[in-house]
Protein backbone atom coordinates (compact mmCIF):
# COMPACT_ATOMS: atom_id res chain seq x y z
CA UNK A 1 0.00 0.00 0.00
CA UNK A 2 1.35 3.44 -0.96
CA UNK A 3 0.10 6.63 0.72
CA UNK A 4 0.70 10.04 -0.85
CA UNK A 5 0.56 12.96 1.57
CA UNK A 6 -0.03 16.42 0.10
CA UNK A 7 1.70 19.22 2.03
CA UNK A 8 4.57 19.11 4.54
CA UNK A 9 3.07 21.33 7.23
CA UNK A 10 2.71 19.80 10.69
CA UNK A 11 -0.46 17.87 9.76
CA UNK A 12 1.14 16.23 6.72
CA UNK A 13 4.40 15.57 8.54
CA UNK A 14 2.67 14.00 11.56
CA UNK A 15 0.68 11.73 9.21
CA UNK A 16 3.78 10.66 7.26
CA UNK A 17 5.77 10.19 10.49
CA UNK A 18 3.27 7.76 12.01
CA UNK A 19 2.78 5.87 8.73
CA UNK A 20 6.52 5.46 8.09
CA UNK A 21 7.05 4.43 11.69
CA UNK A 22 4.56 1.61 11.06
CA UNK A 23 6.52 0.57 7.97
CA UNK A 24 4.05 1.83 5.37
CA UNK A 25 5.26 3.27 2.03
CA UNK A 26 4.72 7.05 2.15
CA UNK A 27 5.57 9.88 -0.23
CA UNK A 28 5.08 13.46 0.85
CA UNK A 29 5.00 16.31 -1.68
CA UNK A 30 5.52 19.93 -0.68
CA UNK A 31 5.60 23.01 -2.90
CA UNK A 32 8.05 25.02 -0.79
CA UNK A 33 11.75 24.25 -0.33
CA UNK A 34 11.26 23.55 3.39
CA UNK A 35 9.10 21.36 5.62
CA UNK A 36 7.01 22.83 8.45
CA UNK A 37 4.38 24.87 6.59
CA UNK A 38 3.25 27.97 8.45
CA UNK A 39 5.19 26.80 11.51
CA UNK A 40 8.55 27.23 9.79
CA UNK A 41 11.64 29.22 10.82
CA UNK A 42 14.58 30.49 8.86
CA UNK A 43 17.96 31.95 9.65
CA UNK A 44 18.65 35.57 8.73
CA UNK A 45 22.15 36.59 9.78
CA UNK A 46 22.48 35.62 13.45
CA UNK A 47 18.67 35.50 13.97
CA UNK A 48 16.04 32.75 13.83
CA UNK A 49 12.75 34.09 12.49
CA UNK A 50 9.23 32.54 12.72
CA UNK A 51 5.92 33.54 11.17
CA UNK A 52 4.85 35.60 14.19
CA UNK A 53 4.50 34.10 17.65
CA UNK A 54 4.22 30.29 17.58
CA UNK A 55 3.84 28.76 21.01
CA UNK A 56 3.09 25.07 21.31
CA UNK A 57 0.58 24.45 24.06
CA UNK A 58 -1.66 21.51 24.80
CA UNK A 59 -3.29 19.71 27.69
CA UNK A 60 -2.73 16.34 26.05
CA UNK A 61 0.15 14.63 27.85
CA UNK A 62 0.68 12.13 25.05
CA UNK A 63 0.97 14.90 22.49
CA UNK A 64 3.54 16.71 24.61
CA UNK A 65 5.54 13.47 24.93
CA UNK A 66 5.30 13.14 21.14
CA UNK A 67 6.76 16.64 20.78
CA UNK A 68 9.71 15.72 23.03
CA UNK A 69 10.23 12.56 20.97
CA UNK A 70 10.25 14.45 17.66
CA UNK A 71 12.61 17.10 19.05
CA UNK A 72 14.94 14.55 20.75
CA UNK A 73 14.10 16.20 24.09
CA UNK A 74 15.62 19.51 22.99
CA UNK A 75 12.70 21.56 24.28
CA UNK A 76 12.41 24.62 26.50
CA UNK A 77 9.38 25.61 28.53
CA UNK A 78 8.27 29.20 28.95
CA UNK A 79 5.71 31.08 31.07
CA UNK A 80 3.54 32.97 28.62
CA UNK A 81 3.91 36.73 28.85
CA UNK A 82 1.61 38.77 26.64
CA UNK A 83 0.02 42.18 26.87
CA UNK A 84 -2.45 44.48 25.13
CA UNK A 85 -1.70 48.11 24.35
CA UNK A 86 -4.81 50.23 24.88
CA UNK A 87 -5.43 53.85 25.75
CA UNK A 88 -1.69 54.55 25.70
CA UNK A 89 -0.84 51.84 28.23
CA UNK A 90 0.21 48.18 28.31
CA UNK A 91 -2.13 45.78 30.12
CA UNK A 92 -1.26 42.22 31.03
CA UNK A 93 -3.22 39.69 28.99
CA UNK A 94 -4.74 37.64 30.62
CA UNK A 95 -5.83 40.59 32.70
CA UNK A 96 -4.41 41.11 36.17
CA UNK A 97 -6.66 42.97 38.61
CA UNK A 98 -4.06 45.34 40.06
CA UNK A 99 -2.73 46.20 36.63
CA UNK A 100 -6.22 46.99 35.31
CA UNK A 101 -7.19 49.02 38.37
CA UNK A 102 -3.94 50.97 38.30
CA UNK A 103 -3.92 51.77 34.57
CA UNK A 104 -7.49 51.90 33.24
CA UNK A 105 -9.28 55.28 33.61
CA UNK A 106 -11.83 54.80 36.40
CA UNK A 107 -14.60 56.38 34.32
CA UNK A 108 -14.05 53.80 31.60
CA UNK A 109 -14.07 50.91 34.09
CA UNK A 110 -17.36 52.16 35.49
CA UNK A 111 -18.81 52.55 31.98
CA UNK A 112 -17.74 49.00 31.04
CA UNK A 113 -19.41 47.60 34.19
CA UNK A 114 -22.56 49.65 33.65
CA UNK A 115 -22.83 48.57 29.99
CA UNK A 116 -22.47 44.96 30.99
CA UNK A 117 -25.22 45.18 33.62
CA UNK A 118 -27.51 46.99 31.18
CA UNK A 119 -27.08 44.39 28.50
CA UNK A 120 -27.66 41.53 30.98
CA UNK A 121 -30.92 43.12 32.12
CA UNK A 122 -32.02 43.81 28.52
CA UNK A 123 -31.46 40.15 27.74
CA UNK A 124 -34.16 39.12 30.21
CA UNK A 125 -36.65 40.84 27.93
CA UNK A 126 -35.15 40.28 24.50
CA UNK A 127 -32.45 37.72 23.78
CA UNK A 128 -29.59 38.81 21.55
CA UNK A 129 -28.91 35.98 19.09
CA UNK A 130 -25.37 34.55 18.66
CA UNK A 131 -25.63 35.24 14.95
CA UNK A 132 -22.36 37.10 14.42
CA UNK A 133 -19.16 38.06 16.23
CA UNK A 134 -20.45 41.50 17.31
CA UNK A 135 -23.61 40.17 18.96
CA UNK A 136 -21.71 37.28 20.61
CA UNK A 137 -19.35 39.75 22.30
CA UNK A 138 -21.92 42.48 23.04
CA UNK A 139 -24.17 40.18 25.02
CA UNK A 140 -21.26 38.80 27.06
CA UNK A 141 -19.09 41.89 27.57
CA UNK A 142 -21.17 44.99 26.83
CA UNK A 143 -20.50 47.73 24.29
CA UNK A 144 -17.57 49.54 25.97
CA UNK A 145 -15.31 46.47 26.08
CA UNK A 146 -16.49 45.47 22.61
CA UNK A 147 -15.45 48.85 21.30
CA UNK A 148 -12.12 49.28 23.06
CA UNK A 149 -10.82 45.77 22.54
CA UNK A 150 -12.75 42.87 20.95
CA UNK A 151 -14.43 44.72 18.11
CA UNK A 152 -11.54 47.05 17.31
CA UNK A 153 -8.92 44.30 17.33
CA UNK A 154 -11.03 41.85 15.36
CA UNK A 155 -12.16 44.21 12.62
CA UNK A 156 -8.57 45.45 12.33
CA UNK A 157 -7.09 41.94 12.15
CA UNK A 158 -9.79 40.57 9.83
CA UNK A 159 -10.21 43.67 7.70
CA UNK A 160 -14.00 43.36 7.81
CA UNK A 161 -16.92 44.48 10.01
CA UNK A 162 -17.59 42.22 13.01
CA UNK A 163 -21.24 41.85 11.97
CA UNK A 164 -19.96 39.86 8.96
CA UNK A 165 -17.83 37.48 11.03
CA UNK A 166 -19.28 34.21 12.33
CA UNK A 167 -19.83 33.80 16.07
CA UNK A 168 -17.85 30.51 15.80
CA UNK A 169 -14.68 32.52 15.77
CA UNK A 170 -15.57 34.30 19.02
CA UNK A 171 -16.29 31.08 20.87
CA UNK A 172 -12.97 29.55 19.77
CA UNK A 173 -10.81 32.57 20.41
CA UNK A 174 -12.23 34.44 23.41
CA UNK A 175 -11.20 32.70 26.56
CA UNK A 176 -13.64 33.97 29.18
CA UNK A 177 -17.34 33.14 29.14
CA UNK A 178 -18.38 36.76 29.90
CA UNK A 179 -17.32 39.87 31.81
CA UNK A 180 -18.34 38.44 35.17
CA UNK A 181 -16.22 35.34 34.48
CA UNK A 182 -13.30 37.65 33.60
CA UNK A 183 -13.69 39.65 36.79
CA UNK A 184 -13.82 36.47 38.89
CA UNK A 185 -10.73 35.04 37.22
CA UNK A 186 -8.91 38.34 37.51
CA UNK A 187 -9.62 38.69 41.22
CA UNK A 188 -9.32 34.98 42.05
CA UNK A 189 -7.06 33.31 39.48
CA UNK A 190 -8.00 29.61 39.21
CA UNK A 191 -5.55 27.09 40.58
CA UNK A 192 -3.36 25.14 38.17
CA UNK A 193 -5.32 22.82 35.95
CA UNK A 194 -8.60 24.67 36.36
CA UNK A 195 -7.87 27.34 33.79
CA UNK A 196 -10.29 27.03 30.91
CA UNK A 197 -8.08 28.72 28.48
CA UNK A 198 -5.15 30.79 29.24
CA UNK A 199 -2.71 27.95 29.68
CA UNK A 200 0.31 29.88 30.85
CA UNK A 201 3.07 27.36 30.16
CA UNK A 202 4.17 26.50 26.66
CA UNK A 203 6.80 24.46 24.88
CA UNK A 204 9.26 25.60 22.25
CA UNK A 205 12.24 24.00 20.48
CA UNK A 206 15.54 24.77 22.24
CA UNK A 207 17.20 25.44 18.89
CA UNK A 208 16.21 26.49 15.38
CA UNK A 209 12.91 28.28 16.11
CA UNK A 210 9.50 26.65 15.86
CA UNK A 211 10.54 25.28 12.43
CA UNK A 212 12.76 22.76 14.17
CA UNK A 213 9.65 20.57 14.65
CA UNK A 214 9.10 20.37 10.89
CA UNK A 215 12.80 19.85 10.17
CA UNK A 216 13.06 17.00 12.69
CA UNK A 217 9.88 15.35 11.40
CA UNK A 218 11.18 15.40 7.80
CA UNK A 219 14.59 14.06 8.85
CA UNK A 220 13.02 11.19 10.80
CA UNK A 221 10.47 10.32 8.11
CA UNK A 222 13.29 9.92 5.58
CA UNK A 223 15.37 7.90 8.04
CA UNK A 224 12.42 5.52 8.47
CA UNK A 225 12.13 5.05 4.69
CA UNK A 226 9.50 7.66 3.80
CA UNK A 227 10.11 10.02 0.86
CA UNK A 228 9.83 13.81 1.19
CA UNK A 229 9.84 15.80 -2.07
CA UNK A 230 10.36 19.53 -1.52
CA UNK A 231 9.78 22.14 -4.25
CA UNK A 232 7.24 19.69 -5.62
CA UNK A 233 3.84 21.37 -6.10
CA UNK A 234 0.76 19.28 -6.82
CA UNK A 235 -0.36 19.41 -10.46
CA UNK A 236 -3.19 16.86 -10.79
CA UNK A 237 -5.02 14.08 -9.01
CA UNK A 238 -6.25 11.51 -11.54
CA UNK A 239 -9.52 9.84 -10.59
CA UNK A 240 -11.12 6.68 -11.92
CA UNK A 241 -14.71 6.43 -10.73
CA UNK A 242 -14.68 7.16 -7.00
CA UNK A 243 -10.99 6.29 -6.59
CA UNK A 244 -7.87 8.47 -6.81
CA UNK A 245 -5.32 6.53 -8.83
CA UNK A 246 -2.40 8.87 -9.45
CA UNK A 247 -0.89 12.08 -8.06
CA UNK A 248 1.08 14.21 -10.48
CA UNK A 249 3.52 16.79 -9.15
CA UNK A 250 6.08 19.08 -10.77
CA UNK A 251 9.76 19.00 -9.86
CA UNK A 252 12.79 20.42 -11.67
CA UNK A 253 10.60 21.65 -14.50
CA UNK A 254 8.90 18.37 -15.34
CA UNK A 255 5.94 16.25 -14.25
CA UNK A 256 6.30 13.17 -12.04
CA UNK A 257 3.64 10.51 -11.47
CA UNK A 258 2.93 8.71 -8.19
CA UNK A 259 0.61 5.72 -8.19
CA UNK A 260 -1.38 5.82 -4.95
CA UNK A 261 -3.69 3.67 -2.85
CA UNK A 262 -4.58 6.46 -0.44
CA UNK A 263 -4.20 10.25 -0.43
CA UNK A 264 -4.02 12.39 2.69
CA UNK A 265 -4.52 16.03 1.81
CA UNK A 266 -3.27 18.87 4.02
CA UNK A 267 -2.94 21.65 1.40
CA UNK A 268 -5.86 24.11 1.02
CA UNK A 269 -8.82 21.84 0.20
CA UNK A 270 -9.89 24.16 -2.63
CA UNK A 271 -6.48 23.78 -4.35
CA UNK A 272 -6.63 19.97 -4.04
CA UNK A 273 -10.17 19.81 -5.47
CA UNK A 274 -9.18 22.04 -8.37
CA UNK A 275 -6.49 19.44 -9.18
CA UNK A 276 -9.08 16.65 -9.63
CA UNK A 277 -9.22 15.11 -13.15
CA UNK A 278 -11.99 14.83 -14.27
CA UNK A 279 -12.67 18.30 -12.89
CA UNK A 280 -15.13 19.37 -10.20
CA UNK A 281 -18.62 20.69 -10.96
CA UNK A 282 -19.51 24.41 -11.29
CA UNK A 283 -21.23 24.48 -7.87
CA UNK A 284 -17.98 23.38 -6.20
CA UNK A 285 -16.06 26.04 -8.12
CA UNK A 286 -18.63 28.60 -6.94
CA UNK A 287 -18.26 27.51 -3.29
CA UNK A 288 -14.46 27.70 -3.61
CA UNK A 289 -14.72 31.27 -4.90
CA UNK A 290 -16.76 32.20 -1.81
CA UNK A 291 -14.24 30.87 0.74
CA UNK A 292 -11.80 33.63 1.51
CA UNK A 293 -8.50 33.84 3.37
CA UNK A 294 -6.88 36.58 5.36
CA UNK A 295 -3.22 37.03 4.50
CA UNK A 296 -0.40 38.37 6.70
CA UNK A 297 2.69 40.41 5.95
CA UNK A 298 5.41 39.94 8.59
CA UNK A 299 7.98 42.73 8.90
CA UNK A 300 11.10 41.82 10.88
CA UNK A 301 12.83 44.78 12.50
CA UNK A 302 16.35 44.54 13.93
CA UNK A 303 16.83 46.73 17.02
CA UNK A 304 20.12 47.88 18.59
CA UNK A 305 19.35 46.87 22.15
CA UNK A 306 19.25 43.54 23.98
CA UNK A 307 15.47 43.56 24.52
CA UNK A 308 12.43 45.56 23.42
CA UNK A 309 9.90 44.09 25.86
CA UNK A 310 9.56 41.11 28.20
CA UNK A 311 6.54 39.88 26.19
CA UNK A 312 6.27 36.93 23.84
CA UNK A 313 3.71 39.00 21.99
CA UNK A 314 1.66 42.19 22.36
CA UNK A 315 -1.78 42.83 20.80
CA UNK A 316 -2.27 46.24 19.24
CA UNK A 317 -6.00 46.77 18.70
CA UNK A 318 -5.92 50.53 18.14
CA UNK A 319 -6.48 51.79 14.63
CA UNK A 320 -3.85 54.53 14.65
CA UNK A 321 -1.29 51.71 14.51
CA UNK A 322 -1.10 49.72 11.26
CA UNK A 323 0.52 46.65 12.81
CA UNK A 324 -1.84 44.52 14.91
CA UNK A 325 0.59 42.37 16.88
CA UNK A 326 4.30 42.25 17.66
CA UNK A 327 6.43 39.39 18.92
CA UNK A 328 10.03 39.01 20.07
CA UNK A 329 11.59 35.60 19.37
CA UNK A 330 14.41 36.11 21.87
CA UNK A 331 11.82 35.66 24.61
CA UNK A 332 10.88 32.24 23.16
CA UNK A 333 14.44 30.93 22.95
CA UNK A 334 17.92 32.26 23.82
CA UNK A 335 19.01 30.81 20.50
CA UNK A 336 16.91 33.30 18.50
CA UNK A 337 19.20 36.36 18.65
CA UNK A 338 22.65 37.38 19.94
CA UNK A 339 22.98 39.13 23.32
CA UNK A 340 23.24 42.78 22.28
CA UNK A 341 20.49 42.95 19.64
CA UNK A 342 16.95 41.75 19.15
CA UNK A 343 14.33 41.34 16.41
CA UNK A 344 10.70 42.40 16.62
CA UNK A 345 8.24 40.72 14.25
CA UNK A 346 5.44 43.14 13.28
CA UNK A 347 2.29 41.66 11.69
CA UNK A 348 -0.01 43.39 9.24
CA UNK A 349 -3.11 41.48 8.13
CA UNK A 350 -4.31 42.10 4.60
CA UNK A 351 -5.94 40.56 1.53
CA UNK A 352 -3.82 39.21 -1.30
CA UNK A 353 -3.25 42.02 -3.80
CA UNK A 354 -4.12 44.97 -1.53
CA UNK A 355 -1.77 47.85 -0.63
CA UNK A 356 -0.27 46.03 2.38
CA UNK A 357 0.18 42.70 0.57
CA UNK A 358 2.27 44.53 -2.02
CA UNK A 359 4.63 46.16 0.53
CA UNK A 360 8.35 45.55 0.08
CA UNK A 361 10.84 45.45 2.95
CA UNK A 362 11.67 49.15 2.80
CA UNK A 363 8.00 50.23 2.82
CA UNK A 364 7.00 47.64 5.45
CA UNK A 365 9.90 48.62 7.74
CA UNK A 366 8.92 52.29 7.52
CA UNK A 367 5.40 51.49 8.79
CA UNK A 368 6.60 49.03 11.44
CA UNK A 369 9.33 51.30 12.84
CA UNK A 370 6.94 54.28 12.93
CA UNK A 371 4.47 52.18 14.98
CA UNK A 372 7.20 50.84 17.29
CA UNK A 373 8.35 54.41 17.94
CA UNK A 374 4.76 55.49 18.66
CA UNK A 375 4.58 52.66 21.21
CA UNK A 376 7.80 53.94 22.80
CA UNK A 377 9.50 50.58 22.22
CA UNK A 378 12.30 51.79 19.97
CA UNK A 379 14.17 55.08 19.75
CA UNK A 380 14.64 56.88 16.43
CA UNK A 381 17.68 55.69 14.50
CA UNK A 382 18.09 52.41 16.42
CA UNK A 383 15.99 50.08 14.23
CA UNK A 384 16.01 48.88 10.61
CA UNK A 385 14.15 46.44 8.39
CA UNK A 386 15.73 42.99 8.43
CA UNK A 387 13.35 40.80 6.46
CA UNK A 388 9.79 40.51 5.20
CA UNK A 389 7.62 37.41 4.74
CA UNK A 390 4.08 36.86 3.45
CA UNK A 391 1.50 34.14 4.17
CA UNK A 392 -1.29 33.90 1.61
CA UNK A 393 -3.47 31.36 3.48
CA UNK A 394 -2.83 32.66 7.02
CA UNK A 395 -6.40 32.63 8.36
CA UNK A 396 -9.55 31.07 6.90
CA UNK A 397 -12.19 33.81 6.96
CA UNK A 398 -15.17 32.66 9.04
CA UNK A 399 -17.79 34.84 7.41
CA UNK A 400 -21.52 34.22 7.77
CA UNK A 401 -21.71 31.74 4.88
CA UNK A 402 -18.40 29.87 5.22
CA UNK A 403 -20.03 26.75 6.71
CA UNK A 404 -22.38 26.19 3.77
CA UNK A 405 -19.59 26.74 1.25
CA UNK A 406 -17.25 24.46 3.14
CA UNK A 407 -19.88 21.71 3.20
CA UNK A 408 -19.97 21.78 -0.62
CA UNK A 409 -16.20 21.25 -0.72
CA UNK A 410 -16.30 18.49 1.88
CA UNK A 411 -19.03 16.66 -0.03
CA UNK A 412 -16.95 16.83 -3.23
CA UNK A 413 -13.94 15.43 -1.36
CA UNK A 414 -16.00 12.60 0.19
CA UNK A 415 -16.98 11.33 -3.24
CA UNK A 416 -13.43 10.04 -3.62
CA UNK A 417 -13.25 7.15 -1.20
CA UNK A 418 -9.44 6.98 -0.83
CA UNK A 419 -8.98 10.76 -0.38
CA UNK A 420 -8.92 12.13 3.16
CA UNK A 421 -8.46 15.76 4.02
CA UNK A 422 -7.16 17.18 7.30
CA UNK A 423 -5.13 19.94 9.00
CA UNK A 424 -5.74 23.65 9.06
CA UNK A 425 -5.81 24.03 5.29
CA UNK A 426 -7.39 20.69 4.50
CA UNK A 427 -10.35 21.45 6.76
CA UNK A 428 -10.42 25.25 6.45
CA UNK A 429 -10.29 25.29 10.24
CA UNK A 430 -8.73 27.97 12.40
CA UNK A 431 -6.74 25.54 14.51
CA UNK A 432 -3.38 25.39 16.27
CA UNK A 433 -0.19 23.38 15.77
CA UNK A 434 -1.13 20.79 18.39
CA UNK A 435 -4.46 20.24 16.62
CA UNK A 436 -2.80 19.77 13.21
CA UNK A 437 -0.38 17.25 14.68
CA UNK A 438 -3.18 15.40 16.49
CA UNK A 439 -5.26 15.31 13.27
CA UNK A 440 -2.34 13.93 11.26
CA UNK A 441 -1.67 11.22 13.82
CA UNK A 442 -5.33 10.21 13.92
CA UNK A 443 -5.57 9.99 10.13
CA UNK A 444 -2.51 7.74 10.17
CA UNK A 445 -4.22 5.56 12.77
CA UNK A 446 -7.34 5.37 10.60
CA UNK A 447 -5.27 4.17 7.64
CA UNK A 448 -3.25 1.69 9.69
CA UNK A 449 -6.14 0.19 11.62
CA UNK A 450 -8.80 0.51 8.94
CA UNK A 451 -11.09 2.00 11.61
CA UNK A 452 -12.07 5.65 11.88
CA UNK A 453 -9.89 7.37 14.49
CA UNK A 454 -12.07 10.48 14.19
CA UNK A 455 -9.46 12.98 13.05
CA UNK A 456 -12.29 15.24 11.97
CA UNK A 457 -13.34 15.70 15.59
CA UNK A 458 -10.08 17.38 16.62
CA UNK A 459 -10.72 21.08 17.21
CA UNK A 460 -14.23 20.78 15.78
CA UNK A 461 -16.16 21.94 18.83
CA UNK A 462 -16.70 25.33 20.37
CA UNK A 463 -13.86 24.87 22.84
CA UNK A 464 -11.33 27.63 23.33
CA UNK A 465 -8.19 27.32 21.22
CA UNK A 466 -5.96 29.90 22.92
Binding-site ranges for ligand FAD (CB under 6 A)? 6-12, 29-32, 37-39, 51-56, 233-234, 266-267, 271, 296, 391, 394, 423-425, 431-434, 436
- C-beta of 39 vs 148, nearer to ligand FAD: 39
CB of 285 to ligand FAD, least distance (A): 17
- C-beta of 97 vs 195, nearer to ligand FAD: 195
- C-beta of 3 vs 394, nearer to ligand FAD: 394
- C-beta of 6 vs 167, nearer to ligand FAD: 6
CB of 275 to ligand FAD, least distance (A): 8
CB of 256 to ligand FAD, least distance (A): 12
CB of 432 to ligand FAD, least distance (A): 3
**HEC profile for the chain?**
CEEEEECCEHHHHHHHHHHHHCCCEEEEECCCCCCECCCCEEEECCEEEECCCCCECCCCHHHHHHHHHHCCCCEEEEECCEEEEECCEEEECCCCHHHHHHHCCHHHHHHHHHHHHHHHHHHHHCCCCCCCHHHHHHHHHHHHHHHHHHHHHHHHHHCCCHHHECHHHHHHHCCCCCHHHHHHHHHCCCCCCCCCCCCCEEEEECCCCCCHHHHHHHHHHHHCCCEEECCCCEEEEEEECCEEEEEEEEECCEEEEEECCEEEECCCHHHHHHCEECCCCHHHHHHHHHCCEEEEEEEEEEECCCCCCCCCEEECCCCCCCCCEEEEHHHCCHHHCCCCCEEEEEEEEECCCCCCCCCCHHHHHHHHHHHHHHCCCCCCCCEEEEEEEEEEEEEECCECCHHHHHHHHHHHHHCCCCEEECHHHHCCCCCCHHHHHHHHHHHHHHHHHCCCCCHHHCCCCCCCCC
- C-beta of 56 vs 85, nearer to ligand FAD: 56
CB of 231 to ligand FAD, least distance (A): 9
CB of 1 to ligand FAD, least distance (A): 22
- C-beta of 140 vs 220, nearer to ligand FAD: 220
Amino acid sequence: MHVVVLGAGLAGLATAYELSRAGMAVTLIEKEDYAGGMATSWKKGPYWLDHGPHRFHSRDKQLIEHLYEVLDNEVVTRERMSRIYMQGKFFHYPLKAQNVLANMPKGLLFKAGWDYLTIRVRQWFKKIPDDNFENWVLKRFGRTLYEIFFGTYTSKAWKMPCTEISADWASQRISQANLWDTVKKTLMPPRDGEVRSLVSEFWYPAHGGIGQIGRKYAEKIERMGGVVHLEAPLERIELEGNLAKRVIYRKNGREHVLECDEIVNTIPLSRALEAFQPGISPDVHAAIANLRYSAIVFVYVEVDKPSVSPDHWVYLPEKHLTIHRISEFKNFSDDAAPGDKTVVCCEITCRVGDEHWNLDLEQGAKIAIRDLETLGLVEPGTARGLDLAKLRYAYPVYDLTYKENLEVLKRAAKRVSNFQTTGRQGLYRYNNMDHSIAMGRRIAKTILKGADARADEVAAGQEYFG
